[in-house]
Amino acid sequence: MAASVATAAPVFGKVYLVGAGPGAADLITLRGARILALADVVLHDALSGADMLALCPQARLIPVGKRSGQRSTAQVDINERLVECARQYQHVVRLKGGDPMLFGRADEELRMLESHGIAYEIVPGITAALAAAAAAHQPLTKRGVARSVSLFTSSTGADEPHDVSMPNGDTLVQYMGGREAAATALRLLEAGHAADTPVVVVENCSRSDQRILRLPLAALEQGLTSCLGPVLVMIGEALRRRENGLAGDGEEAHPASMTAQAR
């Protein structure tokens, strides 16, 4: 009788979900930069610039970015690539814009890793809402005005129903808000929000081509056709400009904003 041969269990490396921050390379955390410097392979988003990827010159780079309205890598394929890379490499980095745990599809990737018994570590990053508030010099909370902040997105997958609900919160921050800004403004106005509610739009947050637009909610209903890069839309009274407030880097005068001030 032939002796049975034991099959060795597959040996996996470790996967690191690293938050790259809002865009500028020097806004990644020290821990994130250290792990990039040790990486054997890096699966990175479309928003990871050359200066960020320069932190891992030794690593194999695999672009797996997803951009709204553009041809991109399906999430199921990214999940499978993570497992494949963990079979081949000791240090695998999944580099995500902002923070991995916020609008980053982390749950799906973690489920995949856990189902294969692959060790992982999560390294948080600065999320775009905080970087945008800093860029515009506008706190998201304000004593006596705003004590809650809601982070939301209206973007949904192809197999998901479109979400038309609006969150509660004194300050609203809409991620991936460029295409949905007009619909968001309409829903808020219909819900009774004042037409002159302050809105701050930050495009390409923290990057060299950052743009900041200030406008009233009524003007947001006309859309953001001039914005081509990633857009974050912040709405609420806490964003009303201080009397002697300084303009943020890349801030532009919006015609609707100037009209509102003239009134």
- Could you list the active site residues? 45, 66, 176
Alpha carbon 254 to chain centroid, angstroms: 24
Please check whether residue 251 is in contact with residue 214, taking contact to mean a CB–CB distance below 8 angstroms.
Answer: yes
Please check whether residue 187 is in contact with residue 212, taking contact to mean a CB–CB distance below 8 angstroms.
Answer: no
Question: Which amino acid belongs to residue 22?
Answer: P
CA distances from 50 to 30, 57, 59, 232 (A): 18, 10, 13, 22
Contacts of 65 (CB under 8 A, 6+ apart): 44, 45, 46, 47, 48, 72, 73
- 133: tokens are 């508030």
Query: Alpha helices of 119-175 — where are they, by DSSP H?
Result: 128-136
Torsion angle defined by CA atoms of residues 249, 166, 153 and 151, in that order, rounded to the nearest 10 degrees: 60
Length of the chain in residues, anyone?
A: 263
- 41: tokens are 């392979």
